[in-house]
Amino acid sequence: MGLTGRRRRALLARPAAQHLKEAVGLAGAVTAPGVTPPAENPAPGSAPTGSPLPMVSATSQFAEVSRPVRGPRAEVPPQRVERGVVAFDLDGTLLDDLALISTVAASVMAQSFGTPEEEARLHYLATTGMPFEAQLAQLYPEAPPALRANTARTFHQRKVTEAYAHAHPFPEVPKLLKTLHRERWTLVVATGAETEMAELLLEREGLSYWFDEVLGSGDGTKREHLAEYRRRYPDVPIFLVGDSRFDMEAALSVPPVTPIARSSRLPGWALTPADLKSWGAAWADYTLSELPEALTSLSTRRRAPARPKKTPRQPQK
């Protein structure tokens, strides 16, 4: 049964809880091995061969993989890039995994808080884009912090085995990234997922070659990711491609980043292009196939010089 219009509007109207800090994951840089561009795009739905995602005891309740905690990243000096920067969210934007993740979230929320699973799934989708810990704090503010922390731990572990293990990119993504790279855009990732998990997923799916950097939960909030990319890549257009209200608001909070959105359709739930544009998206669609043309149009508009004002003629004496 679909979500009623009144209830859907009420869920979407909830504040995004910008004061809630994204949970800390594993920090540190991972040196990417030398890679070559994929010879051809993987067939939709096919799982690239490679090592399975690790699932062992995590180093914190927020970690999705177990790794020794590393020190802070060395500061990267500002860089000049040829055209501009496109930062992609991961879940629901590059990866078609939101249905899987929302099912996991609904299950753990039902077990911990007694919320019916379908209701829990809709509340999760209405607040997606936040880190799960922040979602729980907003949805269950009266629940004991220890219960929320244990629920988050269970969610992150099950997300790996029940969602990420089966998730793959949206069909147009491999060709899209290749096109943007050919058109000289610099591609990066800004995700609320753990940095190392994001890197593993991109590597598994044959997408890591196209990205210059991946910043995840251990590297700060999405706003902090965008501020870092703005510092690192000065004086060029920067776009954030996301799928949620939180993503749009994060981009708008870091001028001159421009928000771009992937709309979504899930059973009983949808975020339409109109929804996302109402939260600030400069462009939104259910597929990113036309993103290269949209970026060209938006960046050209941004660079268009202002017309000089006409100087009024002085009356002749």
Provide Rg for the chain, Cα atoms.
Answer: 21
Mean pLDDT of 45-71: 40
Given a cut of 80, is residue 65 above it in pLDDT? no
Give residue-wise pLDDT tens across range 19-41: 333 332 322 222 333 445 665 44
- Per-residue pLDDT at 20: 33
Of 89 and 6, the one with more pLDDT = 89
Report DSSP state, residue 91. Answer: B
Report DSSP state, residue 203. Answer: H
User: Is residue 73 very low, low, confident or very high in pLDDT (cuts 50, 70, 90)?
Assistant: confident
- Per-residue pLDDT at 316: 60
| Angle made by CA atoms 156, 157, 159, in degrees to the nearest 5 | 65
DSSP string for 106-156? HHHHHHHH---HHHHHHHHHHTBTB-HHHHHHHH-TTS-HHHHHHHHHHHH
Given a cut of 60, is residue 290 above it in pLDDT? yes
Q: Strands, DSSP E only, in the chain?
A: 85-88, 186-190, 213-215, 238-242, 258-262, 264-266, 269-271, 283-285
Of 27 and 97, the one with more pLDDT = 97
Of 313 and 84, the one with more pLDDT = 84
Give residue-wise pLDDT tens across range 229-250: 999 999 999 999 999 999 999 9
CA dist list (Å): 62 to 17, 111, 159, 189: 19, 19, 12, 19
Give residue-wise pLDDT tens across range 167-200: 999 999 999 999 999 999 999 999 999 999 999 9
- Per-residue pLDDT at 38: 61
User: Is residue 272 very low, low, confident or very high in pLDDT (cuts 50, 70, 90)?
Assistant: very high
- Per-residue pLDDT at 310: 54
Given a cut of 50, is residue 53 above it in pLDDT? no
Mean pLDDT of 286-305: 87
Q: Phi and psi dihedrals of 4, rounded to 5?
A: -65, 150
User: Is residue 308 very low, low, confident or very high in pLDDT (cuts 50, 70, 90)?
Assistant: low
State the Cα–Cα distance between residues 145 and 219, nearest whole angstrom. 23
User: Is residue 44 very low, low, confident or very high in pLDDT (cuts 50, 70, 90)?
Assistant: very low
Range in 5-19, 42-56, 112-126, 206-220 with the lowest mean pLDDT: 42-56
- CATH class of domain segment(s) 79-96+168-302: alpha beta
Look over the chain and give the mean of its residue pLDDT values, rounded to a whole number: 82
Domain ranges of the chain: 79-96+168-302, 98-164
Edge-to-edge strand list for the sheet holding 186-190? 213-215, 186-190, 85-88, 238-242, 258-262, 283-285
Count CB-CB contacts under 10 A for residue 198. 26
State the Cα–Cα distance between residues 95 and 204, nearest whole angstrom. 12
